[in-house]
Structure 1
Amino acid sequence: MSVLTTLAAITPAAPTRLDPIELFMQADIVVQIVIIGLILASVWVWAIIFGFSLRMGNTRRRCDAFEEEFWSNDDVDSLLDARRRKDNPSARVAAAGIGEFRRSHKAGLKDHEAARARVAQSMEGQVALESDKMADRLNFLATVGSVAPFVGLFGTVWGIMNSFFQIGLQENSSLAVVAPGIAEALFATAIGLFAAIPAVIAYNRLSNTVNGFESRLMRFGDRVHAQISRDMEGL
């Protein structure tokens, strides 16, 4: 066996693909902090996506059951008790309108149009409140979607600056000196995009879901308002 063959046998083979873990371990401490922050943000983004999807599915089922029972049951008080209103936006919207109607009726319905307007405003305000509650956690998705690429870019700039510093320190501008640092730096940008892209897509999709659910509550509120208006005509 020749010397060259022996050296080839004992020399470890060069990597044939990128190793993210190795890139992270060799990166500068600042770049590592950036990557860790972006990974944590990405994990939280996916937690919000799955949690929100499950929550919306459960909320739709509860609202479907309540609305079906609401239009087929004459005992409104039993439907609108505190236990039934818990985690049920449709029930809270109906309770807001019926509660305003009862307060107006108790004080004496001298102006039916004013009473109808108050009932409508009460339900519209409750619908807006329910929508704000559902959309509250989506703000984090918007923040990550807009900020994560720039955070990754900061890690990239820092890594490239460190690479140029190594060039000056070693007085060697060969690609072998520059390439590892640049690869580590660009890895931060890749992680930033990895966090931002799902966040932007999810924010747009889930915001549309919230808008659709808000429209559904508005339609339900309109039907309740129409029923209350009919009841007022008989008083």
Structure 2
Amino acid sequence: MSDVSTAAPAVAHALSPVDLFLQADSIVKAVMVLLVIASAFGWAVILDKEIRLKILNARAKKLIASLQGEELPLGALAPEFSTVPTSDPLVQIYSAASQEFLRSRDLLDTEGQRDAAQERVHRAASLASAAALGHLQARLGSLATIGAVSPFVGLFGTVWGIMNSFQGIAASNNTSLAVVAPGIAEALFATALGLVAAIPAVIFYNRIGTDIANYGKKLASFIGVFDIELSRHLSKKGERNGLRVA
């Protein structure tokens, strides 16, 4: 009776995650290490994107709210924007549009020139927005890769481990559960690690992609605000030019 009670903890200890790794075949160990590294990298990307998007969304909400009921300066940053880091996408868009407006301010005499200037400013703002969103999306594709590949890498480790288990059974000519269980457990542990790496990667890839798309809508709204202010400014300039001609 005492032998049975002491054998159970030994088997349980042999099936712990650390022991499963230590007892595994070298190929299965390599698969496990690769999956752990992939999971750690995936979580690093997830935390970086989540924290950055949270900061950017909170800042965008304040900046856009500060423009309500106020005339947006065209040739220089509004006071609220000048205190924000230059790496912020809204500041980059504002700066790009303002600089293009300043370069075009001597080409606003005719209606055609004014229309062309407004189009250039809009394109400069759109390019800055696309570059900012591209920066936010950097390394996001790695989550999709981890989510798609990790289960198959884990499955490869499982197949390899089970093959080794069957080879061990054939060599020992012993099919008892005590002999088979450790090898199969080691093999299945690789699949479990693959799922641990893949499931969060897939979930947060979709979530972060949606958050970036929603943030892109905020950037598009700000470009629209700048376009409206620029159109109003150019219309006033056109009216003044018309009065002088008359």
- CA shift, 1:63, in A, is 2.6
- CA shift, 1:196, in A, is 0.3
- CA shift, 1:221, in A, is 0.5
- CA shift, 1:172, in A, is 3.2
Which has the higher mean CA deviation after the structures are superposed, 20-29 or 194-203? 20-29
- Match of residue 141 from structure 1: 143
* 1:27 maps onto 2:29 in alignment: no
Q: For the residues of structure 1 that align with 2:205 and 2:173, how far apart are their CA atoms? A: 48
Q: TM-score, normalised by structure 2?
A: 0.82
Q: For the residues of structure 1 that align with 2:64 and 2:150, how far apart are their CA atoms? A: 41
- Match of residue 99 from structure 1: 99
Relative to structure 1, is the Cα distance of residues 88 and 73 closer, same or farther in structure 2, using a 3 angstrom cutoff? farther
Which has the higher mean CA deviation after the structures are superposed, 12-21 or 139-148? 12-21
- CA shift, 1:169, in A, is 2.0
Matched-pair contact (CA < 8 Å) for 2:122–2:227:
yes
Q: For the residues of structure 2 that align with 1:209 and 1:85, how far apart are their CA atoms? A: 21
Relative to structure 1, is the Cα distance of residues 109 and 123 closer, same or farther in structure 2, using a 3 angstrom cutoff? farther
Matched-pair contact (CA < 8 Å) for 1:67–1:90:
no
- Pick aligned residue for 2:221 from 216, 219, 222: 219
Matches within 5 A, 1:54-203: 54-70=51-67, 72=70, 77=76, 79=78, 84=84, 86-110=86-110, 111=112, 112-203=114-205
Residue 17 of structure 2 aligns to which amino acid in structure 1?
P
> CA RMSD for the aligned pairs?
2.5
Relative to structure 1, is the Cα distance of residues 118 and 73 closer, same or farther in structure 2, using a 3 angstrom cutoff? closer
- Match of residue 207 from structure 2: 205
Matched-pair contact (CA < 8 Å) for 1:138–1:203:
yes
Q: For the residues of structure 1 that align with 2:124 and 2:73, how far apart are their CA atoms? A: 22
Q: For the residues of structure 2 that align with 1:78 and 1:126, how far apart are their CA atoms? A: 15
Matched-pair contact (CA < 8 Å) for 1:101–1:119:
yes
Q: For the residues of structure 2 that align with 1:7 and 1:147, how far apart are their CA atoms? A: 45
How many pairs does the alignment contain?
Answer: 230
- Pick aligned residue for 1:13 from 2, 8, 16: 8
Q: TM-score, normalised by structure 1?
A: 0.86
Q: For the residues of structure 2 that align with 1:169 and 1:184, how far apart are their CA atoms? A: 19
Residue 30 of structure 1 aligns to which amino acid in structure 2?
I
Q: For the residues of structure 1 that align with 2:134 and 2:214, how far apart are their CA atoms? A: 13
Q: For the residues of structure 2 that align with 1:6 and 1:61, how far apart are their CA atoms? A: 63
Q: For the residues of structure 2 that align with 1:16 and 1:130, how far apart are their CA atoms? A: 52
Which has the higher mean CA deviation after the structures are superposed, 188-197 or 152-161? 152-161
Matched-pair contact (CA < 8 Å) for 1:59–1:87:
no
Secondary structure of the corresponding residue to residue 8 of structure 2: coil
Matched-pair contact (CA < 8 Å) for 1:63–1:88:
no
* 1:45 maps onto 2:27 in alignment: no
Moved over 6 A (4+): 80-83
Q: For the residues of structure 2 that align with 1:63 and 1:74, how far apart are their CA atoms? A: 15
- Match of residue 241 from structure 2: none
- Structure 1 vs Structure 2: percent identity of aligned residues? 38
Residue 35 of structure 2 aligns to which amino acid in structure 1?
L
Residue 135 of structure 1 aligns to which amino acid in structure 2?
Q
Secondary structure of the corresponding residue to residue 234 of structure 1: helix
Relative to structure 1, is the Cα distance of residues 199 and 109 closer, same or farther in structure 2, using a 3 angstrom cutoff? farther
Q: For the residues of structure 1 that align with 2:2 and 2:205, how far apart are their CA atoms? A: 58
- CA shift, 1:82, in A, is 7.8
